[in-house]
Every structure is written in structure tokens, then in C-alpha cells.
Structure 1
């Protein structure tokens, strides 16, 4: 299944749930005692409400089973993939409700999405930035299929947070008529132990920077408000 189809499937699954009512060692510098105390905040309570999305991006909150499918797509590297260079795998992430919460808005006309993702972390954002700077081009292989991930840092967003980061990423996979490339623009802010990520992803459409900036700002403010 293509990465786009997995995102679409995750969004549809999230819609259905709403309508029915229903390894490797982690290294790094621990955060402060203050950020550890923030663990008590449920991520779902801090997540931006779908109603905050612009009308062209009808949004849904993803249930945990959909989060585990959608979140890796935003890194371009599927779980279990062999990665070259070694050491460029994304940080280990808990996809359960205590570790990750996601809301996704989809513009079906332009085949694009905007995702707000909250991740509970135990390391500063600078460590992720350092890894990304060392891994500008990564080849990920799974089930005999190669994906080529290119990541380029961009100026960080000016927002009140412990640290910020921004990046552009492209993920190319397949060959010939089956080749697809998805493009992403991601804004990241860390507040204590909560990492806020806003990602615009498309298969050809220009990044909707206005909507992305607006949603990213709203998401950070909601986490600030607690």
C-alpha cells in the first residue's frame, strides 16, 4: 500500500471511530524534573480540536491503531526498514495514547494533508536536529522496496517554546510508472516533554504555508495553555 493510501486509510478509520463514538536503546540527555512532572498531562487533552482546521481541510482525530500507521509516514521510514547510513533511523516513538496524539486534515482536491502531532519525549529537540543534520539523505529498504528520504533544515519558526525546528522532506519510492514522491514541510516546537509537530504533506501541490503556520501556532498555544 502506498504511503498516501496509508494516510487516507488512517483518516477514514479516524472518521469511522468518531462517527460511531467509539528494539533499539534510546540514548540522549534526560529533560529536567519540571518536564518529567508534565507527564501527567494527557496528550489527547492538549491536541488541537478538528474544528480549528480551515474548511478545505476537514479533520479527524486518529485513534491509536491509525496513529501507528500514519506517524511513520511523516518520517518517510517505515518501522522495521533497513536504513542506510546506519544511525539514521527515526527516534523510537510510543504510538499509544500516552505517547502520541494526532489530528489530520485532508484536502482531497489537492491530495494533501496537514497533520498536528503531539509526541511525549524524554530528550531535547536539539538531539533530533543534530541527527537530521547528519542524515540529509537516507535510503530505507523494506520488503525489497527502497525509499529515498531527503531532509533539508529551514529557518525555525519564531514562536514561544523551549526550542524550535523546521524542515523540508521528500520521500521517493517505486520505479517507472509506479514511482511516487511525497513532499513535506514540518514545523516543530518543544515545550517541556511535549513535542508539537505540524506537517503539510502532498504529492505535488505547493505547501499551504498560511494554513500550516496558523494551525502550528494554535497547536503550540493550546499546549501552552495546558
Structure 2
């Protein structure tokens, strides 16, 4: 059995979707990041970076329990465990991995900063809003051009690269995006959103998500608590 410690964020949704696509049995333990539950000592034992998601698999590679943090690493682990959504040939596998790294190093961090400065920052910093909104639009353009010649992000087949990227684009309005500028990407987005496993994955814990409006949640997510040594 796999236990996933998570919250309904893009990184959490990645793993929920992957588990659904692979058909693996799992249970979810909510980690309310607005309430500071990510700093609990027991959670830090499996996720020392105090970020969701993390998993514990009682049936690890050697038959013993294994825990993992970092959503990209978890996607790779689940792909290896099931033999699904990561190609077997070197050429195709590396094509997927480069786009997975594109999400981990570009789409996630940059769109995350766009959300922060456009929606959550206590003051509107025009330079930051423009910088990250423009970078977000650039990344959307990279994906739109890729999808002009490919059915999926990494080629002809649906893969962990698509699973990693999709949840980050669900908040396109908050990112200042006009889909009319990215028609190929919009077609891909709608195709992924229609998958039953994706719909089940983004529904996980969806009823627990609340707008970040109170000072306690802002402090837990963006304040000094994040930077305390543990």
C-alpha cells in the first residue's frame, strides 16, 4: 500500500494523477500547509524539505518500506514500479526526462513565483509581476511550439512529462494567460483534462482547499516560519 502525504496543490496533484493513471491502491494523509502541518516532526522524517507531496510505500524495491519526497522523484519511482508512462527505449525515455526537468526547473518555480506576486504578495511589486508573468508567457510559448508537432509534451505518447506539467496550467487565469495566444497548448490541456484518471486525481482533497486569506496561513506559507532551522 502506498500512503501519500499531500495537499491539493499542483505538486500534490501530480502524484494523485500518477497514482490514478497507474491504478495503484493508495491512501491519502492530508498535510494542511496553511495550518503549518508540514513542519510536524513526523512529516519532516519523510520530507525533510517540509514540502508536499511525499509517499511511503510499504512494498519498496527490495520488499521493504521506502519513503520519498520531491514530486518528480515520486513520478519516476511510480513509473519504475509499474512500468507505465515512461518509455523503455533510451531515446524516448530521455525525451520524456528532459521535459520532466523542464517542469521541475522552469514551469513549477516560475509559475509559482507568478502566482505569488500576482495573487499572494502583500504588496504589488510591478517589476516582479512583470518579470514572472513574462517568463510564464515565454514558457507557455515553448510548450505551444512543442505541441505544434507532437500530440503530447514529449512526443507521441502520454507520459509523466504531461502529468507533471498539466496541474501547473490549471491556474492559467491567475498567471495572466490568454489561451488564444497558445492554441496548441490549449488543445493539449483540454485533452489531458478530459482523462478520467486526471479528473479523479485533481479531485483528491479538493474539498479541503481554501483561499489563503488569513494571517496564520500566510505566515505558514510565506513568513519566517519557513526559514526556521529544524
- Tell me which structure has the larger Cα radius of gyration: 2
Confirm or deny a common fold (TM above 0.5): no
Instruction: Decide which structure has greater strand share.
Output: 1
Q: TM-score, normalised by structure 2?
A: 0.30
Instruction: Decide which structure has greater helix share.
Output: 2
State the structure with bigger RCO (CA 8 A, min sep 6), 1 or 2: 2
